[in-house]
Every structure is written in structure tokens, then in C-alpha cells.
Structure 1
Amino acid sequence: MDEANVKSERSADLRRRAEEILQGKTELLKELSAQDIQSIIHELRVHQIELEMQNEELRRAQREIEESRNRYSDLYDFAPVGYFTFDANGTIIAVNLTGARKLGVERRSLIRVPFSLYVAPGSRDTFYLHLRQVFRAGSRQTCELKIVDKSRNQFDARLESLAVQDGEGKINQCRTAVIDITELKRAEEALRRAHDELDMRVRERTVELAHANEALKAEITERERAWELSKALNDINLTINSTLDFDEIMRRIVVEAGKAIGSDACNITLHKEGRWIIEYAYGLSQQVIGVSFTGEDAAVSEHVAQTKKPLVIRDIYTDDRSSRWVMKKYGIYSVLAIPLMVRGDAIGILYFDYFSVKPAFSKIEIDFTEKLSYSISLALENARLYSSLQQELSRMRDKNKKDVDESDKR
């Protein structure tokens, strides 16, 4: 039945009731004078006009209400977000067109249907907890979950709900705005990935810079060390050329070399008549001067002489090439041994000794010891040649003297 028919029936009912009242008062009207009747008629006409004016005002108010309701209906149905009304169990009481369209279902088919049917299984607990909080707190509550439409497509949504009271002041419904935040989630995920990638690049760059800084520090330290050793080598070479006292030269060399390399002790062991004899020492008891070794006791010296290469023993207890009992006797744990080569043969060994385990020898230190061994070998060869020359000069002097004496006798 349309609205016009309802109004017509209501008007006819009011007229019928008025006629019944009027018929009951006809006898009273007969007793009135003509003047009284005229007065009543006037009053009735005035009242009629008032009623007509009130009726017009009511019709105008009704039109405004209808227009406002239509505007509200348009705003409600065509809002950019879905609006739902739920009861305490999450049953859909009302929904706008946008909400129905997001679920891919006609609006009338959603009424009295549990909204949880359109919530992803993994988000249903979130939805029920959200409802419980809305009706318990009676204030605005929000949550995020995944919704599944009729075609089983999922999208991220944010629910903003507010409990509403009925005429008796009871809270038995809530109004909920369902906002599609899929694009927002994608943007957040893209931002998170970008942030993670940037963070990773920053960490990688930080590590690279740290490594570069460490490498630079190491290079600076290495260059400083190289300069120190180069200066020490130059000083030692000056020492070698400063005097003809060979023993004094060798004693000064072991001291300066040991200090330059940073060893606890340093010694020069020479090979004479099948034995290895400690000729010069620094950092060890002077009683070791002249001590000789052969066979297994001279294992390190024999190994270096045969290979003609430097030998590093970082721990005598774990390296089978060392003469353990000899090393232990002098408290030595680590050794760097360099061959002293003359004309292709090892005539001696330059030892750098450590009383604790030496972590490692740098390339610069090995290079320094090899250059030093060359200078020492050259000094040894020069000393040998000088000694031979002196012996030859002495022989020649003796011969000349003998010849002169024999000539005088004649």
C-alpha cells in the first residue's frame, strides 16, 4: 500500500469521527440564538484557517524531513566506505550499498546474516574480540582484519565501530565503518621493504666503511712499521760500516735487530766444522756464547740450512721441526730463523726468539729479516775476506823478512 492511500484513509476516518460527535450535539445547537450561532460559525472559520495553516506547516515540515531523509539515505548508501549495523553476535542488521558492493552480495541478502561469514578464518578471532570490546567499553573501537567477498577475493580492512543505544538506553547494536585499506597496506609493505633495503644497504655500507677504515689503519700501521724497520736496517748498515771490529759489529747487530723486530732475544749461530755454534746473543744469558749443537739438537738450523728459506715456528710444542728440549732449556716458545747465505751456502742462522707464543710475523717483518740477513752475510763474507787478506799479508811479510834475512847472510 502506497503513502497516498494511507493518508486518504486516515482523513476519512477523522471525518467520520467528527460527524459522529456533531450528531450527538445537534439538540444543543437548536437552543442557541442566531447571534450565538453566527459567533460560533466565526470561531469555527477562524479555527479552520488555523488548522489549514497548521496543516500546511506540517506538510512543509514533512517535506523537509523527507528531503533530509533522502539526503541522508544518499549519503549513507553512496558513501565511499561500507557502513554496517551489527548486533552483539555480529549479525548484520543493516548495510549500505557500498558495503554490499564490497562483499559482492545484494543488500537484502545480507540482512540477518553473520558478518563472520565474510571474515577470513585467520581474522575471525580479531572480529569477535573487536565486537566484545565495542559492547563492553561502549566507546569507539578499531581493528584491522582480512575480509573475503563472495568471489573469495581477500582484501585488508579497518573496522571502526561505535555502540548505539536503543530507546530504553540499552546498548544492543553497533554501527561499523568498514574501510578498504588494501592500498594502504601495499604502500606500507612497499615502504617497509624500502626501509629494510635501505637499512641493509646502510649496514653493508657501514661494514664496508669499517673494513676500509680498518684496512686504512692497518696500512698506516704497516707503513709506519715499514719505515721503522727501514730506518733500523739503515742504522744497522751504518753500524756494519762504522768499524773494522767484526765482533763489535755482530754484537751491536743482534741488539739493534732484536729491538727493531720486537723479539725477546736474538742470536747469530754460525756453522763451523760440522757444528752449529752460538757466536753472538742478545736477550739470552751470555753463557750461551760458544755453546754448540749437532744432530737433533740443531734441527732448526739444519732445516733452514737445507731449505735455504726462513722458518717460522710459532709454538715449539706443536711443531715437530723444533728442538724442543733445547728451546725449553732457554725458555723459548716461538722462533723466526733466517739463513745467512754466502755463495749459495748457509754459513749461519739469524735467530729471533720469543719467550711466549708469537701470533704471527708480518710480511714486512720477514722482508726486514731477509734484508738484514743479506747485510750480515755480506759482513761475514767481508770479514772472512779481510781475515784471509790479513793472513796473506802476514805470510808475505814473513816471506819477505825471510828472504831479506837470507840475502843478508850471503
Structure 2
Amino acid sequence: MKKEKTESNHNDDLRHQAEELLKDSRNELVGSETVDGVDAMALVHELQVHQIELEMQNEELKRAKLETEDALTKYSDLYDFSPIGLFSFDQQGLIQEANLAGAALLGIERRNLMNRPFYRFVVPKDRNSFDEFCKTAFETSTKQTCDLSLLRDGEPTNYARIEGIAADDDSPNGRQCRIAVIDITERKKAEEKLRVNRDRFRAIFDRAGMGIVIANEMGCIEDCNAAFSEMLGYDKEELLQKYFKDITFSEDFDRNLGPVRQMVAGQIDKYQMEKRYMNRDGREIWCNLTSSAIRGENGELVHSFQVERAVKRQASKVIHC
């Protein structure tokens, strides 16, 4: 109803403009003639108005056609020269459209991709994930995402993130799934490198012969290795419930607070000292301590990383708790 009202108003505007143009351009006709009871001047006027309306409508159609062609050209440029791969495939998984980046990603000329199954460019181990992606996309018409490896010349070359959604299409094939294929190879390599470094650090941390402890800014123990647990005679799970003050020899606690406060204040990032811990039996354990700050983006202390090396002292006390 709203559309019909808009078109009616548009036609009224065209007629008004046509009458104004006719009023400005015509010569005044003197007198009035009647043909078979019809006012000739009124008839001529009506025909002239209608002619001008048609000319104006034709001009509007030409302008709309040019605007549509311009928009189509811009869309085509955006699609073809997008830096990420774009594909459309039907419910059989056959490629119907592809842009230049998509063709380059698969290493095949675009015209040779048409009506080829997209799954053939997915490594075999990831094809079940891709099938599930397609099934869910067509069934739900909601955005779906999956990560997989792609084949190029039959060899795995790229990691890709696929994001897509199924939609109705005017083509003979009906509904299509439109996907964006984002190359995440470099990110995957970085993640793998990070994993290797994390595993290496974990191995060094766990197997080191000296005690290593990680604590938060409040002095609560968040992680420790086997050497530290054995040195104090506690299970690791027990130590993770404690603060440093719970295991520090009472006479050394205040002395230890000075450099700790300096580290929290950002005045120092590292300190060394000898201090005494109490083991499970209440016996003092002398250690050579090296503590380093781990800071956040704004320089705040997030964790402290401590390496503890037990040192021998002739005298030892037993503290009875």
C-alpha cells in the first residue's frame, strides 16, 4: 500500500512538472474549437502533457539505468579485487562464482573453477568438517565458520578460515552458499611456534634442578615445579593454596618485604637475596633467591618469577608449630 501511494505521488509530481513545462513553452491558442462536442484545446493540452510525462519518465529511466550500471561496476570491482577469496556454490557444492583472490588461493584460473566441487580443494582430513559446515549453512541460513587446510596442485599449502551463509538465489540452481575464505597460514604458523615455545618452557620449568615459583602480585603461589615442592616437602597442590608468607621463615619475612614493595612500585624489576623457608616439618631451608618481575601492558606487576637454589648452612632450627 505504501509503495502504491509513493508511485501515485510520483506520477502526480511528473504531471505537475509536465504542465509547468507546457505552460512555459506553448504559444497561447486563441479561441476555442469544439470537435464532436469535445474541447479541442483540452484534448491537445492533455496529449501534450502526456507526451512530456513520457519524455520525463524516459529520462528518469535512463538516469536510473546509469546509476544501476555504475553500482554494478563498483560491486564487481569490490568482488573481483577483494583481498580475500570469495566463492558461491550450490547445494551440491559446485562452484558457481569465484573472485580473483579465490582463484589465486587455489592456484587455478577462475574460468576453470566453475562447476567444480569445492570439497576437492579441501584436504581429506578436513572434508567431514567442511561437509558439516555446508549442511548447517543450508539448513539454518545463519553464518557458519570453520577452519581447514586447502589443497593446491594436490598438496596442502594453506590454512584457511571459511565464513559463509546460505541464501536464496534467482539462478536455476536455487539456494547458494556464499563464503569468504581467509588465509590464516601465517597465524597458524605463529600459533604453532607459540605452542612449541610454551611446551619447551614447560619442560624446562618442570624438569629444572632448582626450584621455580610463579606468584601473583599479592604473593599467592600460582605455579611451581617439582624441585620446589620436594625442597619444602609439600605436594604441588598444597603449595598452590599458599602465600609466600605462609612458607617464609618468620624472621626473614619483613626483610623480604622491602624489595617486594620496590618491585610492586615499579622501582626495580629484579632482586637477589638469601632467605629462609620453612618446610613441612618446620625446619628452616636456606635458599639463594632470584626474583624477576612480569609486568602487564601498563607496567603493572602481574606475576613474579622466582628461582630458588637451596644452600647449606651448618646451623638449622626446627620450628614447632
TM-score scaled by structure 1? 0.42
Q: Structure 1 residue 185: deviation in Å?
A: 0.4
Alignment partner for residue 135 of structure 2, among 132, 135, 142? 132
Inter-partner Cα distance in structure 2 for 1:132 and 1:35 = 70
Alignment partner for residue 200 of structure 1, among 200, 203, 226? 203
Inter-partner Cα distance in structure 1 for 2:118 and 2:184 = 18
Secondary structure at the counterpart of residue 223 of structure 1? coil
Q: Which amino acid in 2 is paired with 1:143?
A: C
**1:32 to 1:109, Cα distance in 2 relative to 1, 3 A:** farther
Aligned runs of 1:195-274 on 2, under 5 Å? 195-205=198-208, 207-209=209-211, 211=227, 214=231, 217=285, 223-224=314-315
Q: Does 1:185 align with 2:188?
A: yes
Q: Does 1:123 align with 2:126?
A: yes
Secondary structure at the counterpart of residue 114 of structure 2? coil
Inter-partner Cα distance in structure 2 for 1:162 and 1:177 = 9
Q: Which amino acid in 2 is paired with 1:159?
A: I
Q: Which amino acid in 2 is paired with 1:43?
A: E
Checking the alignment, whether the CA contact within 8 Å between 1:139 and 1:163 is kept in structure 2 is yes
| CA deviation string 1:189-238 (max 9, x = no partner) | 11212222222333244x4126588499498888348x9xxxxxxxxxxx
Inter-partner Cα distance in structure 1 for 2:41 and 2:160 = 74
Q: Structure 1 residue 167: deviation in Å?
A: 6.3
Structure 2 match to 1:86: 89
Q: Which amino acid in 1 is paired with 2:314?
A: R
Q: Determine which structure has the larger helix proportion and give its number.
A: 1
Structure 1 match to 2:43: 40
Aligned length: 194
Checking the alignment, whether the CA contact within 8 Å between 1:81 and 1:177 is kept in structure 2 is yes
**1:133 to 1:221, Cα distance in 2 relative to 1, 3 A:** same
Inter-partner Cα distance in structure 1 for 2:161 and 2:41 = 72
- Larger RCO (alpha carbons 8 Å, 6+ apart): 2
**1:86 to 1:220, Cα distance in 2 relative to 1, 3 A:** closer
Inter-partner Cα distance in structure 1 for 2:313 and 2:129 = 63
Inter-partner Cα distance in structure 2 for 1:221 and 1:158 = 57
Secondary structure at the counterpart of residue 155 of structure 1? strand
Alignment partner for residue 58 of structure 1, among 61, 67, 77? 61
Inter-partner Cα distance in structure 1 for 2:170 and 2:109 = 30
Checking the alignment, whether the CA contact within 8 Å between 2:88 and 2:97 is kept in structure 1 is yes
Inter-partner Cα distance in structure 2 for 1:52 and 1:116 = 53
Checking the alignment, whether the CA contact within 8 Å between 2:163 and 2:180 is kept in structure 1 is yes
Secondary structure at the counterpart of residue 93 of structure 1? strand
Checking the alignment, whether the CA contact within 8 Å between 1:165 and 1:173 is kept in structure 2 is yes
Q: Does 1:147 align with 2:238?
A: no
Q: Which amino acid in 1 is paired with 2:80?
A: D
Question: Where does structure 2 lack aligned partners over 5 or more consecutive residues?
Answer: 1-33, 212-225, 233-283, 287-309
Aligned runs of 1:5-404 on 2, under 5 Å? 32=35, 36-150=39-153, 152=155, 154-166=157-169, 172-205=175-208, 207-209=209-211, 211=227, 214=231, 217=285, 223-224=314-315
Q: Which amino acid in 1 is paired with 2:198?
A: H
**1:68 to 1:220, Cα distance in 2 relative to 1, 3 A:** closer
Q: Structure 1 residue 34: deviation in Å?
A: 10
Checking the alignment, whether the CA contact within 8 Å between 2:88 and 2:98 is kept in structure 1 is yes
| CA deviation string 1:283-342 (max 9, x = no partner) | xxxxxxxxxxxxxxxxxxxxxxxxxxxxxxxxxxxxxxxxxxxxxxxxxxxxxxxxxxxx
Checking the alignment, whether the CA contact within 8 Å between 1:147 and 1:157 is kept in structure 2 is yes
Q: Determine which structure has the larger strand proportion and give its number.
A: 2
TM-score scaled by structure 2? 0.53
Inter-partner Cα distance in structure 1 for 2:73 and 2:127 = 35
Checking the alignment, whether the CA contact within 8 Å between 1:135 and 1:171 is kept in structure 2 is no
| CA deviation string 1:162-193 (max 9, x = no partner) | 1112469x983211111111011011111212
**1:32 to 1:153, Cα distance in 2 relative to 1, 3 A:** farther
Inter-partner Cα distance in structure 2 for 1:125 and 1:181 = 20
Q: Structure 1 residue 32: deviation in Å?
A: 3.5
Checking the alignment, whether the CA contact within 8 Å between 2:129 and 2:146 is kept in structure 1 is yes
Inter-partner Cα distance in structure 2 for 1:178 and 1:97 = 12
Structure 2 match to 1:267: none
